[in-house]
Chain A
C-alpha cells in the first residue's frame, strides 16, 4: 500500500498546500505512517462469466448476482467476463479513527483521509492483479466500478460479499443500511474486454457530480 500525501491533502480539502503549517503537514506524514502500521489490508476477487444482460441489468449466474442499472450495463457492454473484487483496511483503522475522535479530533480527520487514500491504493493493487490475470487470458480490463456509482444501487453489496465469502476471507461485512464494515472497504466490478480503447472513470458517474468542491475550482479529484 502506498499512500500519496497529495491525495490525502485532497481528501482533507486542502486546496493549497502552501497555506498549511508544518504541524499539520507533519501530522499528515505521521498519520500515513500510522495507517501503514495498523492497516491489515486484504483483498479478494473472483472472475465470473456474464450469463445474461439487458439495458438495465447484468447477470453473473455463477455468482448468483444481478447487477442493476443502466450505467453498469454500459460499463460491461462489451465484456463477456468480469472480476468482482472486495478490499478492506481492516477494523483497527476504524477503531483508531474513532479513538482519536474522542481525544484528538484533528488527528482523527487526518487519519481518516489517509485511510481513504490507503484503501484506494489497496484497490489499485488488487486491480493490478486482476489486470494481469485478464491479460494472460488475452483481455484488457476497464476501470473498477463500485456499487453506488451512476445508477447502480448499493443493495447488491450483500450478494457481492456472499459470492466472495468476504467475511471469512477478509473480514468484510455489510450492515442493513448497506454500509460496508470495516468502513475503509470497497467492492467493485472490473470488466474484461477485448476492446483496446479502455474506458475511463468520469465525473458523470460520481455521486458528488455537481456538488464537488474540485469541480467548482475547475479541477478534478483525480480518482
Chain B
C-alpha cells in the first residue's frame, strides 16, 4: 500500500480500541485477549466488522501482546496467534486495510531492566515475520521506551517490506515514561525510516494537543494519533473513560488541522467514536507534508541542535596519545571510560565522541559494550568514531538515539561504506575534507572535496543537515604556513552548502609547549570563522573560558547567565583559593575522613618520594584497616565506610597511572571475578565488595548483574581466574547461583567460589556447593586474602 499517495487526498482513519470492545463482549480479567483470535475468532471478527462499518479505513489486528514472553504458558505460539489474527482481520476488512499490531514487550529494557536490545529485536522479529503476510501496515504502538521502539522498527524494516507506523505514549509532563520528548522521538524514528510517527494511549485528546503540536512541527513524515477517550479515571476501584465521542472528535479535528494525517482511537473508544470521526473528517483535505530540517543529534531524552550557541563535542574518550585510556580499553575497564564520560558532560560537553581504536581488540564488540554502558549513565548524544565501518555500525545499531558518525572522507570507498549506514540508522556524518590525494593545501580545494561529499551523500538519500564538514586542522608546529587555510574554508563551505562544521581543534598545538594556550586561541579564531561544533576537551578550563565568553559575545548566552553562573560570585572565590592554607594532612587521615577530592593529589605527591607498592602496603591498606575496625565497632556506618573506600580508590588511581607510565610490575594481588547471578539485578552488595577488594589491591573483573553462568565460566577460563564471587539477593535467584557454581566446579575444578547476599547464610552456601560464604564485604576481602595468600606463598 502506498501510504504517501493515499494521504495526498484524504486522512487515513484507523479503528478504535480492541481491549475495550473485548471487555464489552465479556472477556474476563485474567483471560488472554490474544487467545480470542483462535478460540473465539467470531467475536474478534465482529469487532473488526463494527469498526469497518463505522467507517474505519484500517482495522488493527488483535495482537497487542502477541509476543513470545506474554504468550508463554498460553499453549499458543506467536505464529499461531498472529497468523489467525491477521486472517480474521483480513476477512473483516475486505477492501480496507489491515495493520499488524505490535505492542510493547512488557519487560523493561536494559539498563533498568534485563531485556537486552538484541533480545527485544528477536522478539519483535518473530511477530513481524508471523504477520507480514496478509497485513498492509505494521503498527508499533503504545511504546514508552525509545530503545524498544528502535529495536521494533529495525525488526520491522529488516524483516518485511510493509510501511512501518510507530506511536509512543506520553505522560502529562510531555515525555514518555522513559523520558523521551516528542522532538527526540520524531528525529530518531524518522531517521530509522519509519513511514509515520506519532502518539497514542495514555492521555485523552485534549491533553495530547500540545504534544501533537510538537510532533507535527518536527516531523517531515506523516503524523499518526490515537488518543484515549480521555484520561483514565477510577471509580470504586474500576477504571473508566468519560470523554464523549463528540468531544473526542472535536479535539481530534484540531489535530487534523495541525497536520496529523493518520487518526484513530485508543483505550475507551468504540465504533461510535470512529463513526463520528469519519463524519467529521470526510472531505477534509489533509495538509501537505513539509520538510522540517534540523541538524541534530539525539540521546533518548535530549536533542542537541548542532551549532546552536556552539556545540561542544567531548574528545576525551579516544585512546590516541592516552596511555591510561588505552590500558582501560584493553582491560575492558568500563568504569574508567564511564568516569571520563561523566566528567566531560559535567564540564559542559554536549556530545561525546567514542573512539575505541586500540590494536588487538575486537573493536565492534568493544564499541557495542561501551556505547551501551555510556548511554546508561549520561544523557548526551554520542558520536561513534572509528575507521572501521563494522565498528561504526555496531555502535550505531545499539545506540539509544540518533548518533553522529565520525567519519567519512572524500574517498569513494569511504563514502560507499559509510553513507548506507548513516541512511539506514538515521545518523549525521562528519565529512573530512581529504580524498585520494590526501589533505589539500588550500581552502578552495577543501570546498571542492566538501562538494563531492555532500553530493554523494545526497545520492544515498541523505541531505545537507545530515552532514557536518570537518576542514581538518593542521599542526602548527609542522605546517604553520597552512594553518589558516582550514579556517578560511569554514565560511566558504557553510555559505555554499548550508552545512554545519566541526574541527578536531586540539590537534593544532601538537608538539608545542603549553598546548592549552595555542588551543584556546585557535578555538576562539575558529569560532569566529563560523565553526559550529568543536571536538575538544571540555575538562580543560581554558577551552571552556573561550566558549563561554564566545557565547556571551555572540548574544547566545542571554544576559550572560551561564557565564555569570560559571565565573561570578562564589565560584570565583573557589577558583581563586584552590586549597586553603593549613597543615597538610596525611594520606591516612584523608582516607579515614573520606576526603575523596584530596586523595589523588596526596597520593601523587607521595609517589614522588616512595615506591607505589610501598604506598599501597604501608599507607593505603593500614588506613583501610583502621576504617574497617571503626566500622566493626559501630563508630562509623556504611556510608562512611564506602566513602573511605572510594577515597582509597582515588589514591589507587594515582598509583595505577604511575605504574602504567613507568611500565613497572603491577600491584595486583590477584584477580577476582564478581557477578550478580542470572535473573538478579540487585547489585549494591556486589559493588561494595568490588570497591573493597580493589582497595586491598585485588583486580576485579566485574561482570555486572544478571550474568549468565556460561559467561562466568568462560571469563574465568579465559582470564585464568581462581576466585569467583557471586551475589544473589532473591530466593528466586539462588537456584541460578547454584547452577553457576555447578558449572564452575564441573568445568574449572581449580576455581573457588565465594557467595553472599541477603538470603544466604553459611549453611545455605555450603548446601549449594560454594567454597566460602562472605557475610559482608570485609568477609569477602578476608576470603580473597586467604585464597591468594596461600597460593602465593
Contact = CB atoms under 8 A, between A and B. Distances in A.
Please say whether chains A and B are actual partners in one complex.
Answer: yes
Interface of A: 12-16, 19-21, 23-24, 27, 40, 44-48, 62-65, 83, 90-92, 94-95, 98-99, 101-106, 108-110, 112, 133, 154, 159, 162-163, 165, 167-169, 171, 173, 175-179, 181-183, 207-208
A133 B642 contact: no
A91 B112 contact: yes
A14 B679 contact: no
Given A24-B639, A108-B687, A167 B104 contact: yes
B643 A106 contact: yes
B35 to A, nearest CB: 13
B687 A178 contact: no
B225 to A, nearest CB: 18
B237 A105 contact: no
B637 A12 contact: yes
A106 B104 contact: no
B732 A13 contact: no
Given A24-B643, A105-B645, A98 B111 contact: yes
Given A162-B30, A175-B679, A181-B113, A20 B640 contact: yes
A103 B378 CA distance: 11
Nearest to A11: B638
Given A64-B29, A182-B112, A103 B237 contact: no
Contacts of A64: 28-31
Contact of A40 (B177, B201, B202, B640): B177
A159 B171 CA distance: 25
Contacts of B732: 154, 177-179
B30 A63 contact: yes
B112 A13 contact: no
11 contacts: A19-B637, A20-B639, A40-B177, A46-B238, A109-B638, A109-B639, A133-B236, A154-B732, A163-B29, A173-B113, A181-B112
A108 B686 CA distance: 13
A12 B338 CA distance: 26
Interface in B174-229: 177-179, 201-202
A98 B687 CA distance: 10
Interface in B716-730: 730
A183 B377 contact: no
Contacts, number: 156
Contacts of A101: 683-684, 687
Of residues A95, A133, A167, which shows the largest number of chain B Cβ atoms within 10 Å of its Cβ?
Answer: A167
Contacts of B104: 167
Of residues A92, A105, A165, A176, which shows the largest number of chain B Cβ atoms within 10 Å of its Cβ?
Answer: A105
Of residues B113, B202, B239, B679, which shows the largest number of chain A Cβ atoms within 10 Å of its Cβ?
Answer: B113
A6 B759 CA distance: 26
Given A46-B238, A95-B376, A162-B30, A105 B691 contact: yes
Contact of A169 (B232, B237, B639, B736): B232
Contact of A171 (B144, B237, B342, B688): B144
Nearest to B687: A101
Given A40-B171, A106-B646, 18 more contacts: A16-B634, A19-B635, A46-B238, A48-B237, A64-B29, A98-B112, A99-B376, A101-B683, A102-B338, A106-B639, A108-B687, A162-B29, A167-B106, A171-B144, A175-B681, A179-B679, A179-B732, A183-B112
Contact of B639 (A12, A95, A179): A12
B177 A24 contact: no
A62 B342 CA distance: 49
A39 to B, nearest CB: 12
Nearest to B338: A102
Given A13-B638, A109-B638, A177-B730, A102 B339 contact: yes
Nearest to A167: B106
B107 interface: yes
B177 A13 contact: no
A119 to B, nearest CB: 15
Contacts of B643: 23-24, 106
A88 B773 CA distance: 33
A108 B28 contact: no
Interface string B678-706: 01111110011001000000000000000
B645 to A, nearest CB: 7
Contacts of B682: 179, 183
Contact of A105 (B201, B681, B687): B687
